[in-house]
Amino acid sequence: MLNSSNNPLKVALLSISPHNRAILEFFFAGAGKSIFQIVAIKEAEALVVDFDHPGARQEWEENIRISPIPAIVLSVKECDVENTVWVPKPLTSQSLVQSATQIRQVLPGNTHSTDIAAGAEKQRTASDMSSLRELLDSQQKDKQVFGLSGWQQRERVKATASPIFAAAGVAYEEDDSSVSAVEKPDDSIAPADEQLIGTDDVYVPEPLSDDEALPGDSSLQLGQVTTPDDSEQDQEKQQQRWDLLCGQATQRVTAANWQESTQLYTPENYLLNSLIDALNLSRTSKQYVQVILDSGNYMLLMPDVNLAYSSIDLYSELFTDVCGTPLQGGKVKLHLPSTTELSELEEVVVQDARQTYDMEGLIWTTSLLTSHGRLSRNADLSSPLRLKSWPNLTRLEQFPDAMQIAALWHQKAGNVFDLSEWLDVPQRHVIAFFNGAHTLGLFEVNQGEDEQEKQAAPKKNRGLFSRLLKRLLGGGKK
Amino acid sequence: MTTTNKKIIFTGPVGAGKTTAIDAISDISIIRTDEYASDMTKSRKPQTTVAMDYGLIRLGENERVHLYGTPGQERFDFMWDILTKGGIGLILLLDNTRPDPYRDMKFYTNAFRDFIQQEQLVVGVTRLDLQRKPGINDYRSWLKELSIDAPVFEIDARDRGDVTSLVQALLYSLDPGVTT
C-alpha cells in the first residue's frame, strides 16, 4: 500500500517527448491523480525522467547536482542507478503507482526509510500486483479520464472550435534544453476534474460542451439519417438480389422433415462443384486454374493473390443462370494454363479488372446463387457445427442477418434449424449463410467442448448496441 | 440524469488506418495526435499534443460512444492498461504492406491480452489491395496460433461501410441477440 501520506507525490517532468508527456499527464490527471501531482522543479519531491529521450539523462545529472532528489526513471533497458526507481517500458499504471510508493519511502521524514535500490529490485521481481491493482481500480472507479487531460483538452477544443489557430493560449512549450513543468497556461481554464463527466459505466473527458460545436458539425442533428441512397428502386433491386442469393422460402424445415423437403439441391450437378474442385486444385498446386464452360466463358483462379477472374459478370443474369442450371457431364473443364496462355490471360485480367473478384467472393456468390436458399441433398446435419472462422464479410455479398448469424455460430455450435430458431431470423438466411461458409470450408464439427463463456455474458448493453447499430447502418453524417 | 458512455478502442501500427477509420464513423471532427495532424494542419500550429486520437458517436442526449485510437509510435511507451478501462471492445487494424504483419498482430494482441480475454477483438486488415499476400486465411491461422477467436475482415479504412462492419462484428460478437 501507499505511504500513509494522503498527499500526492509532487513530481517534475524532465525532457520527454510530447507523446510521452501527454500519456503521463493523461495518467496523472485521471487514475494517478491522487498519487502524483505535476509541479515545477523547485517544488518537486522527485523527478520523472525518460532515459530513452535524447539528452534526458544529462539533464537529470545536471539537476541532481543542484538538488539531489530521487527520480523515477522510465526506460526500455534496465537502469540501476543510485537514488532512482526504474520503471520498465512499456509503462503500466501499476508500475508507476509502485514507483511512487518506493519514492515515498526514501523521502525525508519518512519513518520507513528503505534502500531505494532494494525497492527497485522489488519492482523488477514483483509478480503479485493484486493490492496495487485494487488500489488502482478504486482510483479509477473514483474518477477516470480517457484521452485528453485537463487543460490540454480544453485548449484543443478551443483550437478546434476556432477558425483561427492563433498561438495565444498555447498549453505549454516544449523545451528540450530545460526542465519544463506543466502549469496551467490560463487562469480561466478549469481544473481537469471540472471537465469530467460521470457515468455509471466509465468516466470520460467531455470533449465538447453543447456551446462549443466543432466546425463542420453544426448541421449535424442527433439521429440524422442521410446517405446511403435508399431510393425505393434501389431497395427493390437489393431485395431482388437477396431473393436470388437466399431464395424466397418462408416455411421452416426441421431436423425431422428437411430430407423430404422440395427445397433441396445436388451440388454435384452444378458449376459450383467444378469451382470447388478448381479451388482445391489451385490451393494445393499453387497454380492458376482455369474453369472453362462449353460456351467459352471461363473463370480463372489465381491462388497467389487470392483473386479470381470471371469472364461473366457475377451480377449478370447470365451468371445467375449459369449457376442455377444443372450441367451435363463434360460441359465444364478444369485447365492448368501454360506459360504462354497465362501471359495472355493475365493481359485479359488487367484489361478487364472490373470482373476480378476476391477468390472467396466468387466461390461464396456462386454457392449462394446455386443453392438459392436450398439445402444440399448430401448435407450432414446430424452433428452440431461450429463456425471456426468468420467469412470475410466485407468482401463477400451480404444479405440480411449474415453478421448476426456469423457471430452466434462462431460462439455456439448448432445446425441450421437451431440457428434460425435461436436468432428468430428467416431460415433461408441461415441456410444461405451455411451454404456459403460451408463451401469455403469455414465450419467444423463441434468437438463437444464447452461453449464459450461469452454467450452467457450479460446483455445489459443490448439496447445501446442496438441504437449504435441503427445509427451506423442507417447512415449519419458521413 | 446520468450519461451512458461506452468506449471502443482502435489500435495497430503507424499507418494502419486508425485515425482514418475513426474519422469515417465519428460524429465530430476527430481530435488527432499531432503525429498525424502535423502534416495536414500545419497552419494550425502550435498544437497541443494529446495521448490518443479521439472521435465520438452520439446516440442521443444521454448516450455516447467514444472512439479512441492509440498512437502508433508508442509501442513501448504506451500505457495500454489505462486505455482499456471501460472499453467494450478492441478493433485492431493491421497494414498488409508492412514488413511483418504477423509480428504486429502478435505485439498488439499481447499488449491487450487481458482486455481481449475479457471483452472482444475484431481485426481489420488494410491495404490488401496493394499487397495481396498474406491473405485473410493467413490472418485466421495466425489468430488460431495465438489462441484468439476473432473475426478478420479486409477493410478500407476510408470506407464508412467497412468500418461499420468492424463495429457491427464487434457488437454482435458481444451479443448476437442485438437487433437493428
- Tell me the ipTM for this assembly: 0.90
Q: What average pLDDT does this structure show over B73-85? A: 69
Domains contained in chain B, CATH given: 4-174 (3.40.50.300)
The CA distance from A184 to A25, in Å, is 13
For residues B91 and B67, the answer to whether their CB atoms sit within 8 Å is no
Interchain proximity B81–A92, CB inside 8 Å: yes
Looking at the complex, report in whole angstroms how far the Cα of residue A371 sits from the nearest Cα belonging to chain B: 24
pLDDT reading at A256 higher than 50: yes
Is 70 exceeded by the pLDDT of residue A380?
yes
At A139-187, the pLDDT tens digits run 344 332 222 223 333 333 333 333 222 222 222 233 332 222 233 333 3
Whether the pLDDT of residue A213 is over 70: the answer is no
To the nearest 10°, the Cα dihedral for A27, A33, A34, A37?
100
Find the range with the poorest average confidence among A75-79, B13-17, B45-49: B45-49
Nearest-CA distance A446 → chain B (Å): 15
Q: Which domains does chain A have, with CATH numbers?
A: 9-142 (3.40.50.2300)
pLDDT at site A159: 33
Q: How far is CA A456 from the centre of its chain?
A: 22
- Going across the sheet that includes A356-358, the strands are A332-335, A289-293, A298-302, A307-310, A356-358
With CB atoms and an 8 Å threshold, state whether A147 touches B50. yes
pLDDT band at B172 (very low <50, low <70, confident <90, very high): very high
Nearest chain A residue to B88, by CA: A461
pLDDT at residue A262, as a whole number: 75
Q: What is the pLDDT of residues A289-326, one digit of tens each?
A: 999 999 999 999 999 899 999 999 999 999 999 999 99
Q: Could you tell me which residues come within 8 angstroms of residue A471 by beta carbon, excluding any fewer than 6 positions away? A: A223, B57, B59
Interface test with B, best of A19, A92, A349 (most B CBs within 10 A): A19
For Cα atoms B122, B123, B126, give the angle at the middle one, nearest 5 degrees: 145
Q: Residue range B58-72: average pLDDT?
A: 87
Question: B50 falls in which pLDDT band (50, 70, 90)?
Answer: low
- Residues in chain A within 8 Å Cβ distance of B31: 147-148, 156, 160, 207
- Per-residue model confidence (pLDDT) at position A448: 65
Mean pLDDT value of segment A376-401: 93
What is the DSSP secondary structure assignment for residue A454, as one 8-state letter?
G
Cβ under 8 Å to A: B residues 9-48: 24-25, 27-29, 31, 33-35, 41, 43-48
d(C-alpha A253, C-alpha A261), whole Å? 7
Q: Do B164 and A146 touch (CB under 8 A)?
A: no
Tell me which chain A residues have a C-beta less than 8 angstroms from the C-beta of B58: 222
Which residues of chain A have a CB within 8 Å of the CB of B45?
165
